[in-house]
Structure 1
């Protein structure tokens, strides 16, 4: 087998690892579930899922591009760009393609829906460029997650906005996702001078914020003890997960998935 044939899948694997695959896949899966549950149809669900996937790829890759020197200085071998598994030119090209696909696929869903989704993606980029190192680090997540269901419903006939409780739950879920997602990197972030709100509050307080926000989001979407009983194990996983673990973020997404399933079963997005 030629070296080029071996290099190609290795390069794809490095690109996938550089896009922050767990958050990207989780957000894309939630969008796909909402699109299907809202009755977008096969084409609508494909467009929605593709647009969200492209947007998440652009956010993940741009994050590694912007942080490449900091990651290299910190010896982050888990970062393909910092570990020289990818070149800046290659990941820049991939990011541009992701942005182009995101814009085109979003536009195919209609002007109102595209505006909502591209605003959400812009919030993710604002986090990467500046807000991640400020006390407002949670805000892009809150905005982006609140606008995700709006992207789905604004593509429906009549272009309806989601109910206020859905928007509120999205904002709470985004806040929870932010706090849970940065928990594994708190020490490295502090050493690099990143002082977002979780880094200022510390691990225990940030884990508590993630649990409370995720629980509040679940109860807004599907009030009642049954949902709380199902989401409790996920909340416990957030609190007990060891440092460097990605379990907290996945626990928050699992809690949201349960509440979302109940919401969709009751036709809450239609």
Structure 2
């Protein structure tokens, strides 16, 4: 239960979902720190210049794609589609669709943030010259088009949901990431991930899925505020008025932890009940997903209280993974209660 916007959200030295993210950011370039040192910058730049041109460009595009949130969102989408009953081909198609949508959001994020990154993160793909602005724009456009095209076989409603997630990611990138409303796109996008996956797998949504939406909104808000905590030292000096900057570190941590606490409580209290489970895998996911997700979120929240940005980013990543696990466990219970099954 992570989101496209999540990918936009988590900005790392390598790259950034639906806003995101879970973030719908480690950016995933997988878990790099929000603050890079002069030593690491010069080292990564010199290493890149020793790599042949085409490979160097490919590495730059991967880093531009914000790997961590993109992969988390894609994996969650494929897993949820499978739980809903999709076969391997459909689950893979939906996962790749989500991956490409997240990649597009991450690329747009780096294009918009290039002026800031030039001074603070010169080793990122655009300011370092690994990827040109023109190629980054083309990459963002092509991945968005293919991502939406892969939703076509699931019908017009699935395409609309995918487009909404993509639009939320772009809204974060182009405007809201610099405002006190920076949390809003991810909060709205996180619930779209399970909706897209289930709808794409089955063509319909069970009414009981509505109960998960409030938990998704709160988890998305918690992820967004947590992302602001990771980037606090980076955002404050350049005037990015995120909610974490506006209310301060301590209040932002309490707000993010409170949002997660309520989200977990809702997920536990409203978890679908079923006396029978028609799949061993479904049973494991159902009973392990929620407690493991809650534990990962708790540990991540503890790390986010730290003073080191790199440690806080690891905490944010744990929270993103925990959110996905929480949602997957809840949805496995829904599949069991509705008589659905794992589509393997």
Q: So what's the TM-score if we normalise by structure 1?
A: 0.88
Distance in 2 of aligned mates of 1:163 and 1:241: 38
1:1-270 alignment runs, 5 A limit: 6-72=52-118, 74-157=119-202, 159-160=204-205, 163-223=209-269, 226=291, 228=294, 231-240=297-306, 242-245=308-311, 246-268=313-335
Change (3 A) 1:118 1:41: same
Which moved further from structure 2: 37-46 or 3-12? 3-12
> Any idea what SS the aligned residue of 1:86 has?
coil
- How far apart are the structure 1 equivalents of 2:230 and 2:107? 19
Deviations 1:117-169 (A, max 9, x none): 21011001001111112221111111111111111222344522562221112
The superposition leaves residues 72-126 of structure 1 with CA deviations (integer Å, 9 ceiling, x where unpaired) of 1x23124211222211111111111111111201222211111112101100100
- Do the aligned partners of 2:235 and 2:245 also contact (CA within 8 Å) in 1? yes
Q: State the 1:226 CA deviation.
A: 5.0
Asked whether the 8 Å contact 2:91–2:201 carries over to 1, the reply is no
Gaps of 5+ in 2: 1-48, 272-289
**What TM-score do the two structures reach when normalised by structure 2?**
0.70
Contact 1:176–1:210 under 8 Å retained in 2: yes
Higher helix content, 1 or 2? 1
The answer to whether the 8 Å contact 2:230/2:304 transfers is: no
**Gap change, CA 1:222 and 1:9, over 3 Å in 2:** farther
C-alpha distance 231-87 of structure 1, shift in aligned 2 (>3 A): closer
Distance 2:144 2:192 in 1: 18
Q: Report the Cα distance in structure 1 between the residues aligned to 2:302 and 2:93, rounded to whole angstroms.
A: 35
Q: 1:240 to 1:111 in 2, by over 3 A?
A: same
For residues 194 and 73 of structure 2, the distance between their equivalents in structure 1, rounded to whole angstroms, comes to 11
> Is the 1:207–1:239 Cα contact (8 Å) retained in structure 2?
yes
Alignment size in residue pairs: 267
